[in-house]
Amino acid sequence: MATAEVIAVGTELLLGEVANTNAAEISKLLADLGISVYFHSTVGDNAARLSDVLGQALARSDIVITTGGLGPTGDDITKEVVAEVIGGKLIFSPELWARMLDYFHKIHRKPTENNKKQAMVIEGSVPITNEFGTAPGVFIERNGKVIICLPGPPHEAIPMFKKLLPRLERFSSGQLFRRMLKLFGIGEAAVEQAIIDLTTRSNPSVATYVSPGEVHIRIAAFGEPRLAESEVANIEKEIRSRLGKWIFGTDEDTLEKVVGELLLRNGLSLATAESCTGGLVANRITDVPGSSGYFKGGIVAYQEAIKQSVLGVPEEIIREYGVVSQEVASFLADGVRRLCRADVGLAITGYAGPSGGAPGKPVGTVCLGLSGPGGRQSKEVWISGNRLTVKARAAQEALGSLWSYLKALDAASSGVL
């Protein structure tokens, strides 16, 4: 089986100023192709250290992929170091320069003299066209090894790498088929306990992962495509028989996407009233294309006066129970449902911190309210973390609660118990 290695180049990565997302995406694409990635390396903009890392990579891997260091400035050294390590020669490509000039014309910018550096190619290599930037990539085979150089920005690197996948298929000894099951409302420990007997398998393999407010179960099988897909399907069926009530989606599904599908399927509309989340729930809902078909609108009711005057929360309810309470959340849900003439109202109120809180309700306390055909529902949760974490997790809890509410309505309308 062919092996691959990904080398990320850039001092900004080592300083933690930029996250290295390219390595994860490239590794996933290679795994799907049946090529194993055994090493990830990160190295700064230093020729000697990059040369050492490249030498090690070429000694132990069949395919070496670099990201970063293809720009026009003096510290962009990847192409030069690769040429030196493999004993190649850099030559100027008029054809590549012409393509770059055309790109500059399209974005209404003028190239500078140092941009010509990006039109230098390693003799014998194949340039990789960059549709979203000025830095062309490099594909070269030398001494039985494949070297691929990609620019650093993910929106450039990943589309360029995807174009190369057909060239890499000959290294594949099979295919990886995978399925990700996504769960809400249950912890990772409980999930693992429920499927512990399945996690000891090697092919297909089963593993659990934690994502903010969710638990993911990855099922993966390697081999002949139809057989691998069948094996994954059998394991998925078994997991669903044990944990189906918590599984909201698969693969690229998100709570906001699944919630939208449930609203559309049942002919329901939604409105939101948010306090501590400041519109995050409405933002996530409207991230989904076509959400105007079911989302009426949202109100950010941050101050008590707005909660009372716009959404009709009685002053005595706030005085008796506090602004962060299940009672207030329920009135907010009723109010926004009525105001927007929606079928379902969703509301959030809470203490995001770092200051605030009340006796018995520390910072991180969040109350959620739902109002709709399924009646009123409310709950209180506590979320640890800083202000931004509390806001993000509160939005996740709200969408998860909405999913549970709509799922029950969907089951009732379809006659499923």
**pLDDT tier for residue 267 given thresholds of 50, 70 and 90:** very high
Range from 72-76, 219-223, 292-296, 358-362 that averages highest in pLDDT: 292-296
CATH number at residue 202: 3.30.70.2860
**Share of residues in the chain with pLDDT > 70 (%):** 99
Asked which of 233, 250, 267 is the last residue of a domain, the reply is 250
Domain containing residue 20: CATH number:
3.40.980.10
CA dihedral 117, 123, 125, 130 (to 10 degrees): 20
Structural domain ending residue among the three candidates 232, 250, 268: 250
Q: What is the CATH number of the domain that holds 356?
A: 3.90.950.20
The reply to whether 208 and 98 lie within a common domain is no
Can you give the pLDDT at residue 173? 73
Phi–psi pair at 409, nearest 5 degrees: -65, -40
Pairing of strands 175-183, 247-250: antiparallel
Over residues 21-33, mean pLDDT: 93
Q: Which of 205, 228, 250 is the last residue of a domain?
A: 250
The structure's pTM equals 0.78
- Gyration radius from the chain CA atoms: 27
Q: State the pLDDT confidence band at 416, using cuts at 50, 70 and 90.
A: low
Statement to judge: residues 219 and 368 lie in one domain: no
* Mean pLDDT taken over the chain: 95
Q: Looking at the structure, do residues 286 and 353 belong to the same domain, yes or no?
A: yes
154 and 265 both lie in a single domain = no
Pair (239, 282) in one structural domain: no
Q: The domain containing residue 162 runs over which residues?
A: 3-171
**Confidence band of 417 (pLDDT split at 50, 70, 90):** very low
**pLDDT level of residue 33 (50, 70, 90 thresholds):** confident
Q: Are residues 234 and 311 in the same domain?
A: no
> What average pLDDT does the segment 52-81 reach?
97
Lowest mean pLDDT among 105-114, 299-308, 370-379: 105-114
**188 and 208, same domain (yes or no):** yes
- Binned at pLDDT 50, 70 and 90, residue 223 comes out as confident
Name which of 200-204, 234-238, 258-262, 333-337 the model is least confident about.
200-204
Give the percent of the chain with pLDDT over 90.
88
Q: What pLDDT was estimated at residue 415?
A: 62
State whether 20 and 115 are in the same domain. yes
Do both 57 and 181 map to the same domain? no
pLDDT of residue 307: 97
**What is the pLDDT at residue 279?**
98
Q: Is the pLDDT of residue 30 over 90?
A: yes
Question: CB-based contacts of 267: which residues, under 8 Å, 6+ apart?
Answer: none
The answer on 260 and 288 residing in a single domain is yes
The pLDDT score that the predictor gives to residue 297 is 98
Q: Domain tally for the chain?
A: 3
Using one digit for the tens of pLDDT, what is the confidence trace for 374-414?
999 999 999 999 999 999 999 999 999 999 999 999 988 77
Q: Do 198 and 280 sit in the same domain of this protein?
A: no
One domain for residues 291 and 304: yes
pLDDT of 62 over the 70 cut:
yes
